[in-house]
Structure 1
Amino acid sequence: MTEISSRSMIPIIEPTKTSSMKKLLIALLCAPIWMVAQTNSQNWTKKTTYRDANSGRPVSTVTYYDGLGRPVQQNINKQSGNGKDLITHIEYDKGRQLKEYLPYPATSNDMSYQAGAQSATLSYSQYSGQYPFSEKIVELSPLARILKQGAPGVDWQVNPNANTDHTIKMDYQTNGANEVKNYFALTNWDNTNGVYAIQLQDKGYYSANSLYKTVIKDENWTSGTNNTTEEFTDKNGLVVLKRSYNDGAHDTYYVYDIYGNQTYVLPPLVTNPTAQLDDLCYQYKYDSRNRMVEKKLPGKQWEFIVYDKIDRVVATGPALSPFGSPQTGYLITKYDALDRTLYTGWLQTNSTRATLQGQYNAAATIVSEERTKVGVTETVDNIAISYTNRVLPTSGMKLLTVNYYDDYRYINAITPPSLIEDQTVATSVTGQVTGSWVRVLTTAEETLNEQSYTLYDPKYRPISVCTANHLSGYTRVDSKLDFSGKMLYSQTFHKLLSNSASELNVVDSYIYTEEDRLLLHKHKINDEAEQLLTKNTYDELGQLVSKNVGGSDITGAVGLQKVDYRYNIRGWMTDINNDAPIGSAEFQLGNGDLFGFKINYNQVTEVETARIIYSGSSVNGEVKPLYNGNIAETFWLSFSDNQIRKYGYRYDALNRLRKAYYQKPLSTVPISNSYNEEAKYDKNGNITSLKRNGNLDNPLFPIEIDDLTYTYNGNKLLRVDDATNNPEGFKDNGYGNTYDDYTYDVWGNMTKNLNKGISNIIYNHLNLPTEILFNDGNKITYLYNAEGVKLQKRVITSESNIVTDYQKGFYYVDQTLKFFPHAEGYVNVTEGKFLNYVFNYVDHLGNIRSSWTWDDKVGIVQAITENHFYPFGERHKSYNNQSYVFIPSESGPSYYSAELIEEGTRTPTNFYMYKYNGKELQNEFGLSITAMDFRQYDNTLGRFNSQDLLSESFPDSSPYSFSFSNPVALSDPSGLCPECPDKNNAKNGDTYLSTGGGNYSFNNGNWTRNDGDLNEIVISVNKPETSTRKYGGDGSGSALDISARIADGINQFNPIAGLWDVLSYTFTGKDRFGNKMSTLEASVTAVSIVPALKGVAQITKSGATGVVKTGSRVFEVGSYNKLRGVEVGLDAHHAGQKALMSKFVPGYNPSTAPSILVPKLGHTQGVGVLSRNMSGFSNARQVLARDIFELRRVYPSIPYTSLKELIQMNKTMYPHAFIK
């Protein structure tokens, strides 16, 4: 959003219709009487977003300023739960903003200045006595570096006189002698292979005071070095060492060559770098153009990257065959002149990288493909496509994906209808993805495929998305949007086969509050009666506090269940359905509640036979209050037996879970230990031992079911031995030390598991399993499309072949529909026609704890399944073990109780196996695997079977580890990188742990990085999505190009490029082109897999403001004082707003700062001007990322070379601020 400043006598309003539309800036030079809402004795600016076409339903934000132009109060009009203004007080100490206050609701909604805002904040009932602000202490120097960072809440307040407070503490030092090893990468040019050969050299230690040292202590720190992280950087700003402590140092070294290229990363487990390079270290090689062309990740073979003449990744490999055959080859990508991915494929070849690179270097000057004329096609792999085929390779490639853009004039394209849900359909949508062809990976000869198209309205918003599946059926979703882009309803039309008897039609309808929060969600199937899914209630600060779920009352006044939520001062969720008084340690269900859940962070409880009380510690001092976001305790309570159960947790100083103590408060033996789980780790986070109790919920007889010892080669698990010989939990084959239990291929994928009787696992080019073969001849096969979406599973024995089809959430067994999801659970389908709504209770991690439904026969709500888990995902057994079997009849459905059968076993009426992290448990033949999106997770072992595709983002952790070894606070449903629960409508006090280990907190509408690496801030947008985008920051790529994009990002090692999309996603839920992003996509983007700033300089220099004259210096980069006033019609634009850069960049001088010449129109005049928003930034990299994004938005034809030069100038002038 653009923020415009003005004096109170000349107010300026910016009416922004929607984030995906152009912004209209209107200057109203009128008398103040027209603006009676603001307090005109104050300086202010007003920003207004109109939410309908008639300039109605405005959302206005007024910012008041003091005489020095500093914001002192922000007033968001009518955004509290009751439609009052939300006020945020802002104050300064010697010009520094050391306290940041949480907002409070005013008693009015007239946007007037609130003179007593500070006292009103402190006295607001929801904050009473809780210190509703975060405070920091800075050093007494012009740098004003942070020494302590507090957070809202009594327990997180800053104590300036002692270090016993629970704040983040920072210190700035230099290294000592013999403190940091001095590794160096020696390079020698290898002309044969066209690469710099590398050799690791140990040059002893860095001399004293030659490195900058930053020390960060988290909120749990008490004394010593535990809970401390030290980061050492050299004088070029390159990170040399990250050292964390857990009863000793855990060192991750970063090694560079003479050109500053990252060449080695040595994780904490490394003790002898030379001997352990291949098994434990990350290695990178570069060519003469400084491009990363070879890399070797721990425990994997060397991987190669080939570029075209304009530095685009065109081939990566070696890659396994997409079809499960033993051949290997390269993944190929072909682009258009705009660097958009047009089509991809797999080329079987034994050629070396150097050979392939030489072929591209010697190729003709044509480096891009283009659309063929209408009606003309080219043939690639015997498949007709509407693109040329003139870039290498022109033959032999197996086509995998094709993307179409801009219009609907390609082969087999739909002829767009004129209307979708009474909305005009645009036929020319320049820059948008309009269709795709994706191969279904059966055999190399078959060309089964999925074809999709997307239709847009004139504002380029998707309003219809359709995919024709490989079985001849389809799934189409049509959406009705309002003026501002909110979905009013969607209709899903689905058939598995073209000759299916009938089409399934599902309608989701949405009603919103005046503040645009989701109020009511209704659901309708075919001609069935409409059903309530949820009616939400929010508090004054916009937090969801309750929802009515399920039932036939579509007004939402009454639901089948009411789910209540509570939060602490930091916005962390603390309770689900806790009817005990607020502030009490007690826990109880409300009337009619089926399930409740409670989380303690900075408080722990002592459990007695008659009550629960707060205590300084519990379980004999093992469980202690935690202040950094780790969870100290969880409670759960089910209506089925009304027995409170809990876990108390103990962590090491690296936030890894060490012990989980099972307890039964209010019972005769509160500390039960019946389901304890205990883990130990090596320095990379690989589990070295795991113990579990279980099988009997009896405190007098806790049974140890697992006592596992893990043996490794590097990060690869070789053997697991169970000292208990108990058949429950992990099942040991009994071979002992005679054989290795596990083997791997050269891509790091597990191929054999003797403990589960698996003789071989075959993988495809995405390292997804295509076949699991068991010793007894049974097998499981999987079918995917070329983007890695699972379409089918076959469970094959000598007597049966059960086929499960996965079609956009519709779940079929032997082509009979069994269930499909809705927002609160799923619809159970029995005998192909009986529809029954089932609802899920989920915990903070998305684990499905209880499923329930309405039983027509007995007229009550019935819990039909319960799942309670060990931290690492195994399911508790022997209590709450009642399941209910669905019995359909013409007079209505009913359920009868049955003994819970073997965990994960499907019955003729129970096919819903989604449990841990909300993902499907696959337990056929004792597999006990949770199928995450990109990898398979072994619940019994607490680790994945293959490597994380994004392991380079966190090299201090094993690529096989799960949730950074903290499964209590973090979930990992994608299998790519762990992340906190979705932040729907982020609230003050929310925290987020990024994939790089960065800790973020949300205050006053902004995410602030407290420590750790700058990776991303991910927020899940709280509104229905209309479609799922493909991967790739430009909306064009596929899952195939992820590895290529990672390589591309490492070439630059530049967080700015990745932050374009992530920063846009943070505020809008969309990437920089307006395409909607999922949390996964934002995470992927955040580790720089979007192509870095590259490309050919634009021939023309026309932008949104018109054409600039020939010979113009527009988009020239240089210092401000050299560019200012050099050409009429151009402005010298600071790269990053001056006030913000002065705050984040030591020694920043606006006169000499990096700048770029831009047209006045778009900079200080006209429509769509560059944003000067001051909110939401915690460092200079974020500010520059916003500015790059804005430059591209306002001036679409700005050359990539100019942007790249602008970024490089910032990195050169201010290395400490910009070089990671």
Structure 2
Amino acid sequence: MRMKRFSIFLLFLIVGCALNAQDDYRNYVLSRTMLNGTGTSYLDNITYYDGLGRPFQTVEKAVQSGLPVNKNLATLQEYDAAGREWNSWLPVFAGSSDYLAPASIKSSAPGNYDNDSRPYSQPVYKASPLNRLTAQYGPGAAWYNAERPVKTEYLLNTNASPLKCIKYGVSSTGGLTGNSTTFYTSGELSVVKTTDEDLNVSYSFTDKQGRTVLTRQMNNSEEHDTYYIYNDKGNLCFVLQPKYQESADLGKYAFQYEYDARGRCTKKILPGADFVEYTYNDADQLVYSQDGNQRAQATKKWTYYLYDKFGRLTEQGETESIENHSVSELQLSNCYDGYGFLGTTGFDDIVYSINEADKKYGKGMLTGSSVAVPGSFSRIYTAYYYDAEGRMVKSVQNNLLDGFDVTETAYTFSGNPSVVTHVHSAAGNDRLTETYAYSYDHNDRLAKVEHTLNGIKVTLADYIYDDLGRLEQKNLHGLPLHRQEYKYNVRALLTSISGNFFGESLYYHTGDNPVKCYNGNISSVKSSFNGPPRERYYQFRYDGLNRLTDAHFSGSAYDPKFPAGNFAEHVTAYDKNSNILGLSRYGQTGAGSFGLIDSLTYSLQGNRITRVDDAATASAYGGGFEFKDAVKQDNEYVYDANGNLTKDLNKGIVGIQYNYLNLPNKVTFGDGSTITYTYAADGTKLRTLYKVGSTTTTMDYCGNVIYENGVRKYLLTEEGYVSLSDGIYHYFYRDHLGNVRLVMGNSTSSGGQVEERNDYYPFGGLIADLGSVQPYKYNGKELDTKKGLNWYDYGARQYDAALGIFTTVDPSSEKYYPTSPYVYCGGDPINRIDPTGADWYKDSDGNYHWAERGDNITEGWTWVGSSVSIEISKSKYVNYYENGGIVANKPVNAFDLIASSPKLQNLFLGENSLLSEASKSRLFNGLVNRSLNSIGIPVGQALVGYAAVEFGGIALGKIFGWGAKGLVNLLGKSGAKAATQTGVNTLTASEYLRIENAATRINMPINVVGSRASGTATAYSDWDYIIEGINKHNWNKIKNSLPGARSILDNTPRNIDLIKEPLDRTKPFITIYPR
């Protein structure tokens, strides 16, 4: 869905005075977030410290409103006899108390979590001065009683499996050296063995320079190895996928990089794709790039990039020559700092006009852009306007229908959007005006969303939160009839969605499935519908890499003897890159019969499917979903030089043309039918033209307004859509993956009517049960069924649910080296989704979360992007690109900072990069292929509605416990507040200030490493610092003021480890600089 929503920054004021409401006998820091300009409304967060300066209790005030007083939440951190963090208790309801005795918290905690006797996480340390973790128990007695912690072992490599490691290298000419007979000497590498809560084992091998050289995942006894090979300068030159160990073909199974003398990547090869070349100027800015498709054209083309004196991209396009720079197509151009472009071509309409007084607010901002529409003479012209605080308050953009889209935003004091007004116009149509009004509760959480369309107001949804701050209830259309209630387990994993029309129960280690899941995977799902009543059950099984192998389906309660029938789906085999090799699918074969409809065998060349054979003899009843095996030949699927699918003969597709973003321009079928797509040069889909036989259909996309054959059809909203022919609101009921399970139509006076009801195969195949009134289905993505295409549009690429693959290479494939760039969600469609490939998410409380692919994304998290800014103290921000931060005195887009600064590019991309090699590759790829809207617009000020994804339509409160496996919860919106998670030890504002003061005192940067840096449980659970080049004199200046108390340097092992070795930049860290 495309939604109108803003990323938000809040202002935090650290109040240091003692207030009577606090416990004046204990040290504390009060963090106050002002909600209005008079100071009468605010949020308080109190952190108490013990005599050693360690935080032991946090109280978040007024999480829940109540009479006569508001209700608070309290968390407790315990320490063991050695001063190490021990039991981390989940938040408990504290009534109106500003402080609770630890004993009171511990005694009341079980009652907050369904009487679970272990509502806390607990580390287990190895008995050594290194204080290394050997196990980590998350919250929940079930995990403890079943002995299911996350276990960690610290080993050295040997010459026997699974601890042996091939020794690869890079020759003087840049070639790969080493093979399956050359190994590292025993004891040469450090190895960390991790066993997750489902007993899945993985190994990470690290050399003496702290570089990861091998990650090994075990599927029972089968090794899945990903090797990382560096040259003498430390640059990553090769990444060998697991399949390479079975077939040593670099072209098919390796990521390859070449560098110039300055450490800049000049050539990149992705598995199965032709190489991409890069050329730089003397300022280390990328000026030319050329991919395989550009090189394969009769007249070769290059993409060029021009910058202003501040290093900001001003122009991008294609040229046929890098010698004389003859421009063949200007793709985009940007204007910054002012509005002198107004009145020029494209910006000459009165709708772009602005008051003279408001022009001063564009300094330092992207103020205008012109984006080509390839294949036409049209361009999209956009002007951006800001207020005195640098927030975008208005944007004006033309559209392909000779009209404009104008969006204006007003904000609350705390920076939340309060009113967003969108005016859409198109030639020959009346003006359409819609307004979103956002209301917030006493805790500044979203409480109500109202939508006004052409003067008629409707409540889209209102939200109610429980005593722990989690979303408890959502009412669609403002009616109790459409109430949806949410429940969670002790780890804050969603366990049920219930309502009058749709419900879903999720089981992890409970339920009828004999195979229990303790690592966060869902073991079974029960979905239910009313009108008429019906229940459906799926129960799942996974392999050692968390890939789905079996999805058993039943229309009634799970029966262990239930045969593989109805709508079951089974992956019979994966290769080592997680490509599917075989798939069986069951479905309806007759009016009352069910059976095998697909028995697929995949043939591959590298990661590309070349042929699929179906051995099933039955077909889906009534034209239902199935794979159609239309031809029998070796090359049923053909690809271009960039790895894009150009032929799918089983669908009758004889040709697919692509634009420079690897998005499809035109699909041609064997009978002459065509589907033509129109994209702007920044990747925005604008139009689809279908010519099927004698019928022509045109779909126009103007933001959230969709036209069919020139007639307005849909207005997409945050909770569904409005049918513009009659003004009726239609609401989506979604499951835990955001799949649209039910569509309910409501006029302003009726209770509603069920219009559509959907079930899905695990990999997205549609089992339509009742009607199909709109195209948004699996993951909320648009399904294109015309001419049997059956592709889901994921924005960056298209997905074929019949085969479980994407049609093009993942633009973010360098994030996921071990996995084929064509597979969907690494083979796990039950617990993961693939929104856009971005990584930062925001929950409804304003907390930001970093999630890699493979992590579970919690309900209600909104996608932000690869950059985010988090306030850590007054006028102090950490601006993150991925998990590497840049400290500044204001929120700015880290990607934009890097893109505009050759110095930062050298820092982030050079030999001594702050980022891991994988992050360096992603950053480099992003600099090459960056989108317009991420340039010059600070995070939190750009409208992200059209890129945002709402998972399940839920906006959860703060995530407590583990929440979702593998996720990192960094600083929350109150600066000093950090949600408690298993294995998560994050910096509070006061801790950050203490470290910054120490850095200022010695005038040296201080690196915080391990779990303190990222929230990920690693070898370090305490305080670990790397201060390169520090001497004893400087150390004595700061050792007693750093968080963590005492140091092993003084032979008093407590909480501080000062590591003298060079910083391992592949591991989590935060660098805190002197003021």
Q: TM-score, normalised to structure 2's length?
A: 0.80
Deviation at 1:429, TM superposition (A): 3.0
1:1134 aligns with 2:1006: yes
Letter in 2 for 1:838: H
**Pick from 211, 230, 233: which aligns with 1:238?**
211
Distance between the aligned counterparts of 1:472 and 1:136, measured in 2? 62
Per the alignment, residue 217 of structure 1 pairs with 195
Whether contact under 8 Å (1:852, 1:861) holds in the other structure is yes
Q: Distance in 2 between matches of 1:1134 and 1:401?
A: 41
Shift of 1:118: 3.0
Structure 1 unmatched runs, 5+: 1-17, 190-195, 222-226, 350-355, 360-392, 551-555, 578-589, 606-616, 619-623, 884-899, 901-909, 1008-1013, 1019-1028, 1063-1069, 1084-1118, 1158-1162, 1164-1170, 1175-1208
Who is 1:532 aligned against?
Answer: 459
Please tell me whether residue 432 in structure 1 is matched to residue 362 in structure 2.
no
Match of 2:396 in 1: 466
Residue 725 (structure 1) shift: 3.9
**Counterpart of 1:703 in 2: which secondary structure?**
strand
AA matched with 1:45: V
Q: What corresponds to 2:864 in structure 1?
A: none
Structure 1 stretch displaced more, 404-413 or 787-796: 404-413
The alpha carbon displacement at 1:477 in A equals 1.2
Q: Which residue of 2 aligns with 1:488?
A: 418
Are residue 1055 (structure 1) and residue 915 (structure 2) matched?
yes
SS at match of 1:337: coil
**Letter matched to residue 846 of structure 1:** G
**Does 2:812 align with 1:950?**
yes
Give the AA of the match of 1:537. I
Name the SS of the counterpart of 1:434 in structure 2.
strand
- Establish whether residue 645 from structure 1 lines up as the match of residue 536 from structure 2: yes
The alignment partner of 1:952 has SS state of helix
Counterpart in the other structure of 1:716:
608
Is residue 1008–residue 1025 contact of structure 2 (8 Å, CA) maintained in 1? no
- The 1:118–1:733 alpha-carbon spacing in structure 2 relative to 1, beyond 3 Å, is closer
How far, CA to CA, are the matches of 2:559 and 2:179 in structure 1? 63
1:634-686 deviations in Å (ceiling 9; x for gaps): 11111133121110101111100001101122599993631110012111111
Which one of 744, 751, 773 corresponds to residue 639 of structure 2?
744
Secondary structure at the residue paired with 2:552?
strand
In the alignment, which of 506, 509, 521 is matched to residue 434 of structure 2? Answer: 506
Partner amino acid, structure 2, of 1:640: G
Corresponding position of 1:994? 852
Match of residue 186 from structure 2: 208
Question: Counterpart in 2 of 1:595?
Answer: 502
Q: CA deviation at 1:914?
A: 0.8
Cα distance, 1:470 vs. partner?
Answer: 3.2
8 Å CA contact 1:980–1:992 kept in 2: the answer is yes
Alpha-carbon displacement from aligned partner over 1:1082-1133 (angstroms, at most 9, x marks no partner): 99xxxxxxxxxxxxxxxxxxxxxxxxxxxxxxxxxxx99999879xxxx555
Specify the SS of the correspondent of 2:495.
strand
> In the alignment, what sits opposite 2:446?
518
Structure 1 distance, partners of 2:562, 2:392, is: 55
What's the counterpart of residue 55 of structure 2? 71
Residue 1212 (structure 1) aligned to one of 1062, 1065, 1068: 1062
1:708/1:181 CA distance change after superposition, 3 Å: same
The alpha-carbon deviation at position 1079 of structure 1 amounts to 11
- Greater relative contact order (Cα 8 A, min sep 6): structure 1 or 2? 2
Per-residue CA shift, 1:50-81, capped at 9, x if unaligned? Answer: 12112221212221111111112111221235
C-alpha distance in 1 between matches for 2:96 and 2:284: 58
How far does residue 972 in structure 1 lie from its aligned partner after superposition?
A: 1.3
Tell me if the contact between 2:699 and 2:706 (Cα under 8 Å) persists in the aligned partners: yes
Match of 2:223 in 1: 249
1:788 to 651, 676, 683: 683
Deviation at 1:146, TM superposition (A): 1.2
Secondary structure of the residue aligned to 1:269 is helix
Separation (CA, whole Å) in 2 of partners of 1:827 and 1:96 = 56
Q: Which residue of 1 aligns with 2:495?
A: 574
Q: 2:311 aligns with which of 322, 335, 339?
A: 339
1:14-163 aligned within 5 A = 35-80=19-64, 82=66, 83-94=70-81, 95-108=83-96, 111-112=98-99, 114=101, 116-157=103-144
Does the 8 Å contact 1:1145/1:1217 carry over to 2?
no
Q: CA deviation at 1:402?
A: 1.2
Quote the Cα distance in structure 2 between the aligned partners of 1:85 and 1:338.
48
Counterparts of 2:234 and 2:273 in 1: how far apart (Å)? Answer: 25
What CA RMSD, in Å, does the superposition of the two structures yield over aligned residues?
4.4
| Shift of residue 981, structure 1, vs aligned partner | 9.3
For residue 33 of structure 2, what is the amino acid of its counterpart? T
> Whole-Å Cα distance in 2 between the matches of residues 1047 and 714 of structure 1?
35
**How many matched pairs?**
942
> For residue 405 of structure 1, what is the amino acid of its counterpart?
Y
Matches within 5 A, 1:147-546: 147-157=134-144, 165-179=147-161, 180-188=164-172, 196=174, 204-221=182-199, 227-247=200-220, 248-271=222-245, 275-318=248-291, 320=293, 327-349=299-321, 394-412=325-343, 425=358, 427-443=360-376, 446=377, 448-495=378-425, 497=426, 499-528=427-456, 530-546=457-473
Q: What amino acid is the match of 1:659? A: D
Structure 2 unaligned spans of 5+ = 1-6, 861-869, 871-879, 885-890, 927-935, 950-994, 1014-1018, 1045-1058, 1071-1075
Q: Is the 8 A contact 2:352 2:396 kept in 1?
A: no
CA distance in 2, matches of 1:244, 1:105: 41
Cα offset for 1:24?
Answer: 6.4
Deviation at residue 421 of structure 1 after TM alignment = 14
The aligned counterpart of 2:584 is 691
Shift of 1:173: 0.4
> Match for residue 931 of structure 2?
none
SS at match of 2:534: coil
Query: Which SS does the other structure have where 2:168 is aligned?
Result: strand
Distance in structure 2 (CA, Å) of the matches to 1:72 and 1:668: 48
Cα deviation for residue 166 of structure 1 reads 1.3
| CA shift in 2, pair 1:100/1:1078, >3 Å | farther
CA distance in 1 between partners of 2:449 and 2:722 (Å): 15
Q: Kindly provide the CA deviation profile for residues 787-811 of structure 1, in whole angstroms up to 9, marking residues without a partner as x.
A: 1111000001342321110110111
Once residues 533 and 852 of structure 2 are traced to their aligned partners in structure 1, the CA distance between those partners, rounded to angstroms, is: 37
Indicate the residue corresponding to 1:1184 in structure 2: none
Evaluate the alpha carbon distance shift between residue 452 and residue 117 of structure 1 in structure 2; reply closer, same or farther with a 3 A threshold. farther
Identical columns (%): 28
Matches within 5 A, 1:650-661: 650-661=541-552
Equivalent position to 1:931, from 783, 793, 797: 793
Q: Who is 1:1090 aligned against?
A: none
State the alpha-carbon separation in 1 of the partners of residues 803 and 1025 from structure 2: 52
Over alpha carbons, which structure has the higher Rg? 1
Q: 1:1049 to 1:663 in 2, by over 3 A?
A: farther
Give distance in 1, aligned partners of 2:208 and 2:856.
Answer: 23
Match of 1:842 in 2: 734
Change (3 A) 1:687 1:806: same
Q: Distance between the aligned counterparts of 1:142 and 1:216, measured in 2?
A: 21
Query: How far apart, in 2, do the equivalents of 1:657 and 1:459 lie?
Result: 48
Question: Match of 1:966?
Answer: 828
CA gap 1:873/1:257 in 2 versus in 1, 3 angstroms: same
Distance change in 2, residues 1:1056/1:234 (3 Å): closer
| SS of corresponding position for 1:771 | strand
Q: Indicate yes or no: 2:754 matched with 1:754.
A: no
For 1:641, the aligned partner's letter is P
Output one character per residue of 1:544-590: Cα deviation in whole Å (capped at 9) or x when no partner: 1111111xxxxx4x44411111111111111111xxxxxxxxxxxx6
Give, as a single letter, the amino acid of the residue that structure 1 aligns with 2:337: D
Deviating more after overlay: 143-152 vs 408-417: 408-417
Question: Is the 8 Å Cα contact of residues 844 and 981 (structure 1) preserved in structure 2?
Answer: no
Could you tell me how far apart the structure 2 residues matched to 1:739 and 1:167 are?
48
Q: Kindly indicate whether the alpha-carbon contact (under 8 Å) linking 1:121 and 1:132 is maintained by their aligned counterparts in 2.
A: no
Sort the Cα spacing of 1:1049 and 1:1145 in 2 relative to 1 into closer, same or farther, 3 A: farther
Aligned counterparts of 1:26 and 1:982: Cα–Cα separation in 2 = 26
Structure 2 distance, partners of 1:153, 1:991, is 22
Q: CA deviation at 1:836?
A: 0.8
